[in-house]
Amino acid sequence: MSEFLLLFLLGLGQVAPAQISAHGSDQEMPVREITVFKDGHAFLIREGQMPVDKDGVLQLQDLPQPVLGTFWARTTSGPPLRSVTASRFPVEEERRALTLQEYLRANVGNQVHLRLQDQREVHGRVLAFQRQPAEDPTKDLPVESSLLQLETSQGVHLIPLKSVKEVVFRNAPDSTYRKAGFESRLQMQLHGRKSPFPNQVGLRLAYLQKGLRWIPEYRMELDGNGKAKLRLQASLINDLIDLERVTLHLVIGVPRFEFADQLDPIALQEELVEAIRLAAPDARVSNMFSNAIMTQLPAYQGQSGSQGDREEASWKSGKNEDFYLFTVDHVSLAKGQRMVLPVVEFELSYRDLYTLDLPITPPREVRTRFNTDQLRNIAERLGQPQVFHKVRLHNNAAFPLTTAPVLIFNQDRILGQSLIRYAAPGAETDVVVTQAVQIHAKKVDRESQRRWVRLEFDDKEFLEVDLHGRIRLQNFGDREVEIEVSRHVLGHPDEVGQGGTVERIHWQEEEEYLGPGSRVFWWSWYGWPSWWGAVNGVGRFHWKLTLPAGEKTELEYAWGYYWR
């Protein structure tokens, strides 16, 4: 078994003869195995038998576009690779004529009758078009002349192509012409110079490239007695490469590809300069993969398809260090196609839960600085508390739940669509089912007192504002419910009643409250003074209770904050 290649040469200075065709003797390397991540990256393993010329060189026209540092090549039979060179070759490509100008280029030597834009008419024979060679044929194409040379009885006319309005051919015109272009190739040199090289060798390419992703989707059926049947399916979006009977791995996990936005130099793209800069000796490279937990998955029999055809495929699972893998064999999917694959069915236990989450509201002193539209926005979004019906899933499966949309049913009746969040085996996660309209909630906050106090901070007086709040709940449903209530406040929480708990949090350390994506949407509307965080924090009151059908209850709490 040969070693993986460590050296890649950029053969930008090599020029192939113009007679090299766009196809030559290249043989495509089929994809044998592919690992697909949810972020759109895929790790491909391509393997096949490749012809070798008398100099020990293999050529591959299909140039990959790998992520920086992820391209590896080796032989699986015969001599090992000595080097891999990525080059661009000038070639003559055959094109189909679609415009008047292109038809004229395709019919050099033929007799034509032209009508020009100024209504003049001219007859003659089309002569060859002039071409200015490129200064650097490895980077630039030759310049095509925009003048038509037409040989007539009076001499050779030079006519701008754009002035031709109509063309009449005496005979049926040719519809194809040749146009200068570039072809990117991988040239792989085998080790050895004295002994004759084999006619072919086995070659394996492995690299990471963007263009194929999978989207997990769940269907959850609740039986009303604490059991939930879940089905996971994968939507595949292939904008990368044709797949034919490949082994497909679907990854659950959070990969980290440090140079995901940089192409490897072997791709011969403009990003080469930036890629080289990032790969300089002083560049810092962090861990390539985030930590996760890996376990095994039960076997599952599913199906895959190709261009409308379905065939049997066996689902398996495997252990690959940091990720969970679902594996399916014999998947065929052409580039540009989409596919839905069933992955696995399993059953989890759950319990019904109702939650009321009351977010932070701005202090009175801050609200006075808001404009009318901002105050209206706050009233619309925070004015009416809403209780939500959730199911708390206990993941007693051997594999994790991945973050994905979920369609929820109860005895074949659709309840809605929600989101399942990641949950490791043994963990719990809440899934919102719908708003619980049968449970009414109302929040009332009142200011208790204000007094001036001197704090050690800055040795100045602050206004201490004390507040008291009540949350009223009433169950208009026909059964007892379990409710969890959370109330978040700015300042310092003091007291909580009805068996609740209180938690104090530093606001600068809790992104959940004040960071990106926080429910405190109004936080950036006000320029908070530097002393605020030194004398105030964030508080959370929390209650867990059972509310019988037709009953009501009231939850009390007290907090305060400092102002100056």
**Residues composing the chain:** 564
Q: What is the DSSP string of 264-292?
A: -GGG--TTHHHHHHHTSTT-----SB---
- Look-up: residue for tokens 């390397």? 29
Verify that 150 and 235 share a domain, yes or no: no
The verdict on 338 and 394 lying in the same domain is no
In a domain, 68, yes or no: no
133 vs 131: CA distance, rounded Å? 6
- Domain membership of residue 198 (yes or no) is no
- Count of domains observed in the chain: 3
Looking at the fold, whether 433 and 535 belong to one and the same domain comes out as yes
Same domain for 368 and 488?
Answer: yes
Which candidate, 122, 125, 100, places its Cα nearest to that of 177?
100
Q: Give me the phi and psi of 359, to 5 degrees please.
A: -75, 175
Q: Which are the contacts of 120, defined by CB distance < 8 A and separation ≥ 6?
A: none
- Reported as type and span, the H/E element at residue 372 is helix 372-382
349/395 Cα distance (integer angstroms) = 8
Within-domain flag for 283: no
Domain boundary among 144, 174, 204: 174
Tokens of 342: 């069933």
Residue 360 in domain: yes
Q: What is the pTM of this model?
A: 0.72
Find the CATH number of the domain harbouring 109.
2.30.30.100
- Distance CA(509)–CA(514), nearest Å, equals 9
Instruction: Provide the 10 A C-beta neighbour count for residue 219.
Output: 15
pLDDT at 364: 93
Residue 119 structural domain: 98-174
Look at residue 271 and tell me if it is in a domain.
no
Same-domain status, 140 and 251: no
Residues 496 and 544 in one domain: yes
Q: How far apart are CA 10 and CA 206, in angstroms?
A: 18
Q: 309: buried, middle or exposed (CB in 10 Å: 19+, 13-18, 0-12)?
A: exposed
Q: Are residues 149 and 130 in the same domain?
A: yes
Neighbours of 1 (CB within 10 A): 8
Q: Coil, strand or helix: which one is 525?
A: helix
Do 224 and 302 share a domain, yes or no? yes
Same domain, 491 and 438: yes
> Which two structure tokens, joined as six digits, stand for 22?
């766009």
Which amino acid, one-letter code, is at 539?
G
Q: 430 lies in a domain?
A: yes
Q: What residues of the chain score a pLDDT lower than 70?
A: 1-28, 138, 194-195, 268-322, 506-519
Q: Is residue 39 part of a domain?
A: no
Three-class DSSP labels, 437-448: CCEEEEEEEEEE
Could you tell me if residue 530 is inside a domain? yes
Element (H, E) at 104: helix 100-106
Do residues 334 and 379 both lie within one domain? no
* Maximum Cα–Cα distance across the chain: 109
